[in-house]
Structure 1
Amino acid sequence: MNSRPSLHLTVLLLFCSLANAIAGGEPPSSKPHIIHIVADDLGWKDVGFNGCADIKTPHLDKLAAEGAKLTQFYVQPMCTPTRAALMTGRYPFRYGLQTSVIPSVSAYGLDTAEWLMPQCLKEVGYKTAIIGKWHLGHADKKWWPKQRGFDYQYGAMIGELDYFTHEEHGVLDWFRNNEPVKEQGYTTQLIGKDAAKLIETHDTSTPLYLYLAFNAPHTPYQAPQEYVDRYAHIEDPTRRTYAGMITCLDDEIGRVVAALEKAKMRENTIILFHSDNGGTHNPLFAGVMADVSKIKIPCDNSSYRDGKGSLYEGGTRVCAFVNWPGKIKAQPVNGLIHAVDIYPTLAGLAGASTAKCKPLDGLNVWNTLAENQPSPRSEIIYNIEPFRGALRQGDWKLIWRTMLPSSVDLYNLAQDPSEQTNLAAQHPDKVIALQQRLDTLAKESAKPLFLADQFKVIMKNMAGEPVLPIDEGFGEADHAP
């Protein structure tokens, strides 16, 4: 038997493989690189791919057009809960992070018993990095990213900071690998530059997981003047600055994509983008560093109702897409997807086991993302708190506020995505069934750490100095009728 043809074929294949390696092509590992990009308080309609007319986001629009635009991607109503859901694959009511955010003055964090996504991916050979915002515990280093599975960390630990000084109320919140960093620069650009540097110096034979969590366009509304000047046609000054923040964010994402292309990593990289919650509508949820009492809050979640902090669609359904050349079809994907689904989906792509995780709420939605197949998810849990809860089953959504006076909203989202017509009175049986489901989940939930923490603050204040009307002259005869 003549073995020369097979020998020649083997040599040819080896030569092609060598040439590909020299050219810097796809790494030999079949595991994809993962770039998970999270924006902060970005409105649904504040990106071009969702119809924004006055803010330019060309890099995001291109990625969305060439990938799967996710029309029903859900997160938690606020920052900390969403980030916890992403890292754990579990709803935040399971471990007490379902209410509000972790305040900068508070000393609690994400339970260290939770097995996080970077820990999971490290076990199958990934280099793991977080660049940007953490907000899952800052008062003790046991909660910091380097202690939770990330090989590299750069950015902020708390929830909001000045974009130029990198401080919150005069305290520096800017770190690299647990060490404080004092440097000049606008945070969005610093984050983008650091991500590009990380990619360009990365050994492509090792799979990379980069959690790229920008703090833009969260308050305070600040942007480099050159970006503000691009939007002179926007009359409202706050919207003008907000627009500049978003376009700067877009430019930095463009920088990251260019770095992937330069490193010959783009074809084997999945890019996921979304906001952590809807854009802010209610001043109560605008943060602690900005006085928004005299401005018009600039975020646009239309046509969805309300925004950050609320259980309506405007607070929880966010702009999102996923892009992977040749692996994900360019099309709208309408299936239900929740932030908790990201963990098992990425673990599945990486060939990583989730056996060390506590029971996951997330589902592997890869076929939905890649092929627009029906989502395995039929239920969304918006949140479970002692005073309110919400869930969606199929097209039906229930919002139940349990504090007196209580209220119930029932919507058919297929017919009424803007949640304008409350159908609770017309469908009492559906209300009862969904309330029973919420009540069952509430019995499984942990006590909100935020409420426990704030109760301690109240008790401390109760031990303070009594307040009495002791002004000079109080009670004297000249005050008598």
Structure 2
Amino acid sequence: MRYFLATLALVSTLHAAPRQPNVILIMADDLGYEAIAANGGESAQTPNLDKLAQEGVRFEACHVQPLCTPTRVALMTGMVNARNYTHFGHMDPAQTTFGNLFKQAGYATGIVGKWQLGHDMTLPAKWGFDEYCLWQLTRRPSRYKNPGLEVNGKEMDYTQGEYGPDIVNDYALDFITRKKDAPFLLYYPMMLTHSPYDPTPDSADYNEKAAKNSQGKNGQRFADMVAYMDKLIGKLVARLDETGLRNDTLIVFLGDNGTGSGTPMKFRGETVIGAKGQTIGHGTHVPLIVNWPGAAKSGHTCDNLIDVTDFLPTICAAARVSIPESLKLDGRSFLPQIRGEQGNPREWRYTWYNPSGGPKAKAEWAQDKRFKLYADGRFFDIQADPLEKTPLPDALDEAAANKKEELMRAFVAFLGARPEAIAKQGQAFGGEGEEKKKAGAGKKKKAPKLE
């Protein structure tokens, strides 16, 4: 009998469902594809990310929104901005995020880093996060040296030369240690590498008054910040090793938009100029590296088109977290591609872009990896013309004509997608752009700074 019970226990153990993986989703601030050495970047050293790519999967065609808040809303909700984006620095509180879904599935959830989704201490919990260490939740002090942060309901000010990214990263390390015995989700929207391009603690002049660098003009200082960002990620991976969680943890790394406007970076023998805020590829093309020992195909490079809306369904699929049928997503999972399988690659991605919200897009387009069609009819071969200087003529060869027709169907798929109630929220903060606010139009509420 004792032998039978022992055998039964062993069989039960062998057939038990494997532990759900931990998920760490890291998003760098203002970091284009060209900044990472594994992608061909030559200005900054990124050994930790390069190793994650070498041992995992490096994606070559990941695109997001050209600016911070629009990307964050799409990433967290899995929906195109046309459906639920209100205005800059804000997310509609009625939205469901991956934080909500993971918390409902029993995960411990935390968020650390940059917020910029509304000024209210209760919002992280509303969107599913048990705890947080954030910058720009209720105010906008320094993010780097001597920062001001919000930590689990308290405003914390640091005045002894502390470095904000270090404080946030230390909180992430502590979260991993405290939550090691059960699955956790850690969302880490980093403060680096956004301007101002100040010294990091590894800079010789960190303890001196930082030189005033105009946005995007100091490529070397930016490269130093990229290297420091990479160093912090290395510490995070080391903590996973120390706690024995490395093999049970899915790490996803991406950027939130292109590198800061005007910032030069050497890339594959050429100079790429950062194009944050612009709709060209250098404004939307970001690094994407996925590492998951034993699950992700090691050393694999994938050229499938990936959209910012695809991350929610992907991490949910990886963690076996169910998505309610009532939640109509625009994203599709690329988990099979992470495993080295063919999956269901998207043929195109559609973008509705207006940082200030309102009823109409500031720019609207559909693209695949070669062609890009704007709602105003401009049609580009973005492989031959990455800066989109010369639209293709009306007379197209058969391949281009067929692709243009296919991309036109993308616009049809999103006709009427913008709810009136969402559009009105944006109108209250300046409607269709900063231009109206600067011109003194109406008595609309002050729009937040676009950064």
Is 1:239 equivalent to 2:219 in the alignment? yes
Please, which of 260, 263, 281 is the counterpart of residue 280 of structure 1? 260
2:230 & 2:289 partners in 1: Cα distance? Answer: 14
Contact 1:88 1:343 in 2 (8 A): yes
Please, which of 392, 411, 414 is the counterpart of residue 381 of structure 2? 411
Alignment size in residue pairs: 411
> C-alpha displacement at 1:123, in angstroms?
1.3
1:300 & 1:78 partners in 2: Cα distance? Answer: 22
Is 1:269 equivalent to 2:236 in the alignment? no
Matches within 5 A, 1:305-454: 307-330=275-298, 331-355=300-324, 358-384=327-353, 385-393=360-368, 395-400=370-375, 402=376, 408-411=378-381, 413=383, 419=388, 422-427=391-396, 429=401, 431=404, 434-435=407-408, 437-438=410-411, 441-446=414-419, 447=423, 449-454=425-430
Aligned CA RMSD, in angstroms, stands at 3.4
CA change 1:152–1:28 in 2 (3 A) is: farther
Match of 1:257 in 2: 237
Match of 1:47 in 2: 36
Letter in structure 2 aligned against 1:209: L
Which has more radius of gyration? Answer: 1
> C-alpha displacement at 1:150, in angstroms?
0.2
1:64 & 1:394 partners in 2: Cα distance? Answer: 21
> C-alpha displacement at 1:4, in angstroms?
8.7
1:376 & 1:410 partners in 2: Cα distance? Answer: 22
Is 1:86 equivalent to 2:54 in the alignment? no
Matches within 5 A, 1:214-229: 214-224=190-200, 226-227=202-203
Is 1:113 equivalent to 2:133 in the alignment? no
1:368 & 1:160 partners in 2: Cα distance? Answer: 39
> C-alpha displacement at 1:39, in angstroms?
0.3
Contact 2:348 2:368 in 1 (8 A): yes
What TM-score, normalized by structure 2, do the two folds share?
0.80
Q: 5+ residue gaps in structure 2?
A: 207-215, 354-359, 445-451
1:147 & 1:462 partners in 2: Cα distance? Answer: 33
Match of 1:188 in 2: 165
Match of 2:128 in 1: 149
1:13 & 1:396 partners in 2: Cα distance? Answer: 54
Contact 1:228 1:244 in 2 (8 A): no
Contact 1:328 1:369 in 2 (8 A): yes
> C-alpha displacement at 1:342, in angstroms?
1.1
Letter in structure 2 aligned against 1:270: L
Contact 2:101 2:321 in 1 (8 A): yes
2:8 & 2:133 partners in 1: Cα distance? Answer: 45
> C-alpha displacement at 1:115, in angstroms?
1.3
1:136 & 1:463 partners in 2: Cα distance? Answer: 23
1:395 & 1:448 partners in 2: Cα distance? Answer: 35
CA change 1:13–1:377 in 2 (3 A) is: same
> C-alpha displacement at 1:243, in angstroms?
1.7
In percent, how many aligned pairs have the same letter? Answer: 28
Matches within 5 A, 1:66-81: 66-81=55-70
Is 1:35 equivalent to 2:4 in the alignment? no
- The 10-residue stretch of structure 1 (328-337 or 304-313) with the greater mean CA deviation from structure 2: 304-313
Letter in structure 2 aligned against 1:182: D
What SS class does the counterpart of residue 293 from structure 2 fall into? Answer: coil
1:45 & 1:394 partners in 2: Cα distance? Answer: 17
1:450 & 1:303 partners in 2: Cα distance? Answer: 37
What SS class does the counterpart of residue 430 from structure 2 fall into? Answer: helix
Contact 1:96 1:448 in 2 (8 A): no
What SS class does the counterpart of residue 444 from structure 1 fall into? Answer: coil
2:439 & 2:219 partners in 1: Cα distance? Answer: 40
1:327 & 1:57 partners in 2: Cα distance? Answer: 23
CA change 1:391–1:180 in 2 (3 A) is: same
Contact 2:180 2:245 in 1 (8 A): no
> C-alpha displacement at 1:112, in angstroms?
2.0
Please, which of 75, 81, 85 is the counterpart of residue 96 of structure 1? 85
> C-alpha displacement at 1:272, in angstroms?
0.2
Is 1:137 equivalent to 2:118 in the alignment? yes
Contact 1:281 1:299 in 2 (8 A): no
Please, which of 145, 157, 163 is the counterpart of residue 143 of structure 2? 163
Letter in structure 1 aligned against 2:184: L
| CA-to-aligned-CA distance 1:71-105 (integer Å, 9 cap, x gap) | 111111111011111110111121134x6x32xxx
Match of 1:128 in 2: 109
Contact 1:305 1:312 in 2 (8 A): no
Match of 1:175 in 2: 150
Contact 1:82 1:339 in 2 (8 A): yes
| CA-to-aligned-CA distance 1:407-444 (integer Å, 9 cap, x gap) | 6132264x666656632433395546644642662532
Match of 2:45 in 1: 56
Contact 1:193 1:252 in 2 (8 A): no
